[in-house]
Structure 1
Amino acid sequence: MSPVWQPPKNYRNRPVAVLGAGVLGRRIATDNCFTGCIWASAGYNVTIRDPSAQQRLDGIAYINENVKSYAQNTGQAPGTAAAFENVADAVADAWLVIEAVPEKITLKIDTFAELAVVAPDDCILASNSSSYKTSEMLEKVPAITKPRILNMHYYMPPQCMIVELMTDGFTTEGIFPFLAERSKEAATLPYIARKESTGFIFNRLWAAVKREALTILAEEVSVPEEIDSMWAEMFIKGRATPCKMMDGVGLDTVAFIESHYIKERGLSSAKTVDFLQKNYLDHGKLGLKSSDGGLYPPVQEHSNGPRVLVLDIGLSTAPPSMNSGEILEYTADGKFERVLFQSQAMPDGLAVDPASKRMFWTNMGIPGKNDGAVYSANLDGTDIYTVIAPGRINTPKQLTLDLVAKKVYFCDREGCRVYRCGFDGSNLETLISNCKANEGAEDWCVGIAVARNLGKFYWTQKGPSKGGKGRIFCANIKTPLGQDAASRTDVQCILGGLPEPIDLEVDEVSKLLYWTDRGEIPFGNSLNRIQLDEYGRPLTGSASAKPEILTRHLKEAIGLKLDTERGHIYLTDLGGNIYRCDLDGRRKEKIFSDDCRAFTGIAVL
């Protein structure tokens, strides 16, 4: 039995080496913050090796000029950079070597043969090649080294911060979760190919799109402008994705269409129609129209759609009370189902963890009494658990979850803070503290959203009621080293002068930040959004840089929940209304209304 693989010893204090200081090599060495920083900005020292003195100088210059801006998003002090002419010097103490030499297979074979000799015995050896599998580079590599070798391909950071990992056919399995976690530390989004492939996951997707686009042009069916315009409408604006789109069309229909192409073009059916027939159609898995699902598992619908959970703050009851709040369940078309919890002390924020099938919510308590609390329970209303007991926080408002890190984020309005803790309430951290001697509404923290892939969290400071002084801020998920909640330097005000922003939601795929605003008309009592750039900040210098009002005429707007899978947004207001609209704000409909209700937080299952 072979020994269990162990990570490189003391890797945090050892360098990452990049062989090749060309354009891609320099980007890998520097772009390790969210959407831009891969190793140096994640705090690792970096060495680059290139035979050209000029390329070495250019590589170091690129790192020195850019690493600090990238490191704003990692919360790490940037690592150092050094350049070498000799491979052995560059990799002497490295824990990871990324080969980015020219795409010549003989050169890559010789490079890995040399690395097998001169790199440390526990060093991970990776190729950034997209043209060659690492198995093609092993000709001169001894068997003992092959388990430490893999492909590790980046897609031109900082615009695209995806990294794909793929085996050489011998790679030890433990390397993949280890490198995935290191990549996340560096704010890159890792994808792991399940088996060795000519071309990575995206390369193969792009190859098919590219091939068919050229065929369309060659057959004079369309022109480049029309192809690109249609792509933007369908896949960028419409956010259509290949597998979900096939499930939506129906896998039986997909198979029928593909059969026609197969016949007309003389193609093989083995990996299309035959694959679908054997693995899906024969088992009744036709997609969204099937209770057995399709490429994706079946969507668990309730009644006529998803379940909608909503908080009633209790202030519109007769008589009104500080402890008459409720958690209610509705269908997607607004039919009341049941009361899950009663006697809540002004509930405000609500979120659901689908994995554990638990809901989390905040109770504000009596504002200013420091008696706010956070609770969780099963979705059927059983097994209530106190996450944060009364007496530790003031007036907790919106709440959101980091489902990967298993963290609860919430704002404390009168406490003027943003907090984070574990799902069980452990490790309560103060992330933002605006506490001053004369704090006022301008320092109140209300809405909260987390964009894990962008490395940011966002919060609203609503300002005085209807005051036009509302702001939206962001900061890095990782607090900068040596700084605290009151002194951290990565806090940025990304929007100001808003009527009264309340709850937040972020769509990380489309990089869109949404918020409700309960301020005065014409701009308040509205649903709004703004486009973010690859750094998680609003775009600049274009029409998309301005906030967009999607819908108006809400009645004291509060709750907000995106349902991107179904193309909907759900909203609540203190007027007792629940709304649903499309992701662009169109087709808004009031699915429930009751003057004796005052709704705050909302979640969709």
Structure 2
Amino acid sequence: MSTDWKPPKDYRDRPVAVLGAGVLGRRIACIWISAGYNVRVRDPSPQQRSDCSAYVEQNAVLYASKTGKKPGQLTVLEDLQDTVYNTWLIIEAVPEKIQLKIDTFGEIERLAPDDCILASNSSSYKSSEIIDRVSDQGKGRVLNMHYYMPPEVMVVELMTCGFTAGPIFAFLAERLREAATIPYIARKESTGFIFNRLWAAVKREVLTMLADEVSVPQEIDSMWTEMFLNAGITPCRTMDNVGLDTVALIESHYIAERGLSSTKTVDFLQKNYLDDGKLGAKCAKGGLYAQSGPAISTPTKPQILVLDLGLSAKTPSANGGEILQLSADGKVQKALVTGQSLPDGIAVDHATRQVFWTAMGVPGKQDGAVYSASLGGTDIQTVVAPGDVNTPKQLTLDTVAQKIYFCDREGLRVLRCNYDGSDFEVLVQTGNSQREEDAQNALNWCVGVTVAPNLGKFYWTQKGPSKGGRGRIFVADVNTPQGQSGTTRTDIHCIVDNLPEPIDLEIHEQSRTLYWTDRGEIPFGNSLNRVRLDGSGLPITGRRHEVLCRHLQEAIGIKLDLDNDHIYLTDLAGNLYRCSGEGKGRVTLYSDEDRAFTGIVLI
């Protein structure tokens, strides 16, 4: 694998070329236009060029709604040399004829700049099969870049030709994320890449079941929907949870019954996992996934930190808030921090061993603050001083970037800063907090917030009037569109509306599921809820949000512990609950009418 290639510094000022204006070619063009790049599409057919122009004109804005960027320009051409001139990326999407692809790659290497990446959209041919006419030096810039069917499916698979320069993969993956696609990298050449190999196995087994009259299409599709789509089951996690030793035993039975080879199944597991005692989630050594803590079959018992407002105490006080530490079974161990002015949101970075929290102060006054401390409650630091924010609410962390995200309710804002309070940013501004009409309009009040760095998104609630049925959840990109601000950004989308009164949010990135509490009226308020997201971080088309459990008492805090199939919840009636990941089997771990709980976190 070559390492000589370096990313062109001026790639932003250079066009992307797509060779082929067919069904996929025009969609690929829209992808890159939506990321702000100018795109040239080459096709020898006047009709295809015309159809491509019409498709892009009709759909570019839709694609760009996922990126928040100003769309680039499309140029359709017949001449290949004019198409590839000064490009930084060329994507071949010509008909699946091997000699045509070989000739095309030989020609574009000759015509394109020496630093231009040469990609094939082909899923039928590995790129190593189409580089016969590419020089040895040029082979380091060739790879497969396979799209499925955007905008419905935004997955893109990258795969080496055997010579591809290593830095190309990281560079392209970053550019693809800018275009709201989800890149996956095949570690080595493979016919069918990643997904098509998965699909091939599923397809073969489904056809076998149908041929053996084991089931019928309707039942197979229904079970698939319930098990994999609705329940979010994934293959590698499931094998770890079942136990790799059990997986090997089951597979051995199939091998014996069907006369299959064991080389790449049981033998592979035995050599790489079982012989080393890696049995999956039930053991400390882990399995397909590394185990970072106790086995799933023996659930971890975290310490719990909850915020008590202090307003329900026998002697209520606006400065009587506390951070309480409780055991996993709900026994109060100690007050970690006391004397807080209406604490509301809390988060922990276990790597830096810091806890962060907000203090609302007097609602409507500019006296809210954000603080940090060690996990032991010592070394308390002021992150955002009183006077800089109005009423800070839920708080969440991007622990990789070491950024704090939090909402300012009467300040009508979603904010972000570094762990030390520097680089203070207004991500969203829903109104003018100095205007009484705006400040008192609960539709503008930002309350809950969560961030999904891998999706490049953050989410927040605007709760609306108390129990008013007008609450909403919004999403925007982590990076504010260039040249825009919290008041002018165009990438904000309302993803759920007409909610009783949504409060705190948390996202499970692995299953792309957004969870929230709602303190509104029954039957749908005072509840735990979730919605499934697609690869672009938006709700799956046609899927409504689910109410997982109800009958909480002014529900506020939420904390996911889905590795242990737990969700923790708090409410203003002084209750701390735990339920399953599906909202079942709720138990009350702690209850005290002299307390009013808000935020919650596990340590």
Q: TM-score, normalised by structure 1?
A: 0.91
Structure-2 change in CA distance of 1:104 and 1:378 (3 Å): farther
How far apart are residue 143 of structure 1 and its match? 0.9
Partner of 2:229: 236
**Which residue in 1 is equivalent to 2:195?**
202
Give the match for residue 600 of structure 2.
602
Whole-angstrom CA distance in 2 between matches of 1:186 and 1:354: 32
The aligned counterpart of 1:43 is: 36
Q: Is the 8 A contact 2:3 2:165 kept in 1?
A: no
Question: Which one of 239, 255, 259 corresponds to residue 246 of structure 1?
Answer: 239
Q: Which amino acid aligns with 1:305?
A: T
The question of whether the paired residues in 2 share the 8 Å contact of 1:305 and 1:333 is answered with: no
Question: What secondary structure is seen at the aligned counterpart in 2 of 1:514?
Answer: strand
Shift in CA distance, 272/337, structure 1 to aligned 2, threshold 3 Å: farther
Aligned residues of 1:418 and 1:432 also touching (Cα < 8 A): yes
Instruction: Look up the SS of the partner of 2:260 in the other structure.
Output: coil
Could you tell me which residue of structure 1 aligns to residue 473 of structure 2? 472
Deviations 1:153-204 (A, max 9, x none): 1221112211121211111111111111111111111122222222212122
The answer (yes or no) to whether the contact 1:328–1:340 under 8 Å persists in 2 is yes
- Tell me the CA shift for residue 147 of structure 1: 1.1
Instruction: Give the fraction of aligned pairs with identical amino acids, expressed as a percent.
Output: 65
2:309 alignment counterpart? 313
| Contact 1:304–1:332 (Cα < 8 Å) also in 2 | no
Q: Does 1:373 align with 2:369?
A: yes
CA distance in 1, matches of 2:270, 2:534: 42
For 2:210, the equivalent position in structure 1 comes to 217
CA 1:376–1:23 in 2, change beyond 3 Å: closer, same or farther? farther
Query: Given residue 505 of structure 2, which amino acid in structure 1 is its aligned partner?
Result: L
2-structure distance, mates of 1:301, 1:357: 20
Code of the aligned partner of 1:82: T
1:475 deviation in Å? Answer: 3.6
Deviation at 1:98, TM superposition (A): 0.9
Tell me, yes or no, if structure 1 residue 445 matches structure 2 residue 446.
yes
Matches of 1:177 and 1:406, distance apart in 2: 22
CA, structure 1 residues 279+67, in 2 after alignment: closer, same or farther (shift >3 Å)?
A: same
Shift of 1:370: 2.4
Amino acid at match of 2:409: R
Count of residue correspondences:
595
**SS of the counterpart of 2:563?**
coil
Distance 1:497 1:174, change over 3 A: closer
CA distance in 2, matches of 1:534, 1:138: 32
CA–CA separation in structure 1 for the residues paired with 2:48 and 2:347? 50
**What stretches of structure 2 of length at least 5 have no aligned partner?**
none
What do the CA deviations read for 1:431-488 (whole angstroms, capped 9, x no partner)? 2222251120412211123345655433222234344443333444443444322233
Amino acid at match of 2:321: G
Distance verdict in 2 for CA 1:203–1:328, change over 3 Å = farther
**Residues 313 and 325 in structure 1, CA contact (< 8 A), matched pair in contact too:** yes
Cα distance change, pair 353–149 in 1 and its aligned pair in 2 (3 A): farther
Contact residue 306 and residue 604 of structure 1 kept, 8 A: no
Q: Is the 8 A contact 1:91 1:118 kept in 2?
A: yes
* More deviation, 270-279/505-514: 505-514
* Aligned 1:271-290 pairs, distance under 5 A: 271-290=264-283
How far does residue 27 in structure 1 lie from its aligned partner after superposition?
1.1
Cα deviation 1:381-409 (Å, max 9, x = unaligned):
56655432333212110122345554322
Partner of 1:435: 432
Does structure 1 residue 267 correspond to structure 2 residue 265?
no
User: Taking structure 1 as reference, are residues 195 and 531 closer, same or farther at Cα in structure 2, changes over 3 Å only?
Assistant: closer
Residue in 1 that maps onto 2:558: 560
Assess, with a 3 A threshold, how the Cα gap between structure 1 residues 172 and 384 changes in structure 2: closer, same or farther: farther
- The corresponding residue for 1:11 is 11
Supply the distance in 1 between the matched residues of 2:101 and 2:351 (Cα, whole angstroms).
43
Q: How does 1:336-415 map to 2 (within 5 A)?
A: 336-353=332-349, 356=352, 358-381=354-377, 384-403=380-399, 405-415=401-411
Q: Which moved more, 1:129-138 or 1:245-254?
A: 129-138
Shift of 1:557: 0.9
Helix, strand or coil for the counterpart of 1:231?
Answer: helix
Q: Which amino acid aligns with 1:410?
A: F
1:278 to 1:382, Cα distance in 2 relative to 1, 3 A: farther
Worse overlay, 479-488 or 106-115: 479-488
Amino acid at match of 1:591: L
TM-score (norm. length: structure 2)? 0.91
Distance 1:17 1:595 in 2: 66
Alpha-carbon spacing, 1:346–1:184, altered in 2? closer, same or farther (3 Å): same
Where 1:565 maps in the other structure, the secondary structure is helix
Please state whether the residue corresponding to 1:222 is helix, strand or coil. coil
Structure 1 position 69, deviation (Å): 2.0
The aligned counterpart of 1:105 is: 98
Task: Evaluate the alpha carbon distance shift between residue 218 and residue 252 of structure 1 in structure 2; reply closer, same or farther with a 3 A threshold.
Answer: same
CA displacement 1:252-288 (0-9 Å, x = unmatched) = 1111111122222232222211221122112211112
3-state SS of paired residue (2:262): coil
Q: For structure 1, which segment, 118-127 or 583-592, has the greater mean C-alpha deviation from structure 2 after superposition? A: 583-592
Distance 1:287 1:217, change over 3 A: same
Quick check: 1:25 aligned with 2:21? no
Output the amino acid matched with 2:151: P
Q: Is the 8 A contact 2:2 2:163 kept in 1?
A: no
**Per the alignment, do residues 90 and 311 of structure 1 end up closer, same or farther by CA in structure 2, a change over 3 Å counting?**
same
Where does the alignment leave 5 or more consecutive residues of structure 1 unmatched?
Answer: 31-37
Deviates more, 1:286-295 or 1:380-389: 380-389
Is residue 158–residue 534 contact of structure 1 (8 Å, CA) maintained in 2? no
1:44 deviates by 0.4
Q: Contact conserved, 2:346 with 2:395, CA < 8 A, in 1?
A: yes
Q: Is the 8 A contact 2:309 2:321 kept in 1?
A: yes
Amino acid at match of 2:75: A
Q: 1:304 to 1:256 in 2, by over 3 A?
A: closer
Q: 1:495 to 1:249 in 2, by over 3 A?
A: closer
- Report the residue type matching 1:7 in the other structure: P
d(CA) in 1 for partners of 2:136 and 2:316? 75
Tell me: CA distance 1:151–1:265, structure 2 relative to 1, closer, same or farther (3 Å): same
Summarize the Cα distance change of 1:174–1:564 in structure 2 as closer, same or farther, 3 Å threshold.
same
8 Å CA contact retained: 2:3, 2:166: no
Give 3-state SS (helix, strand or coil) of 1:326's partner: strand
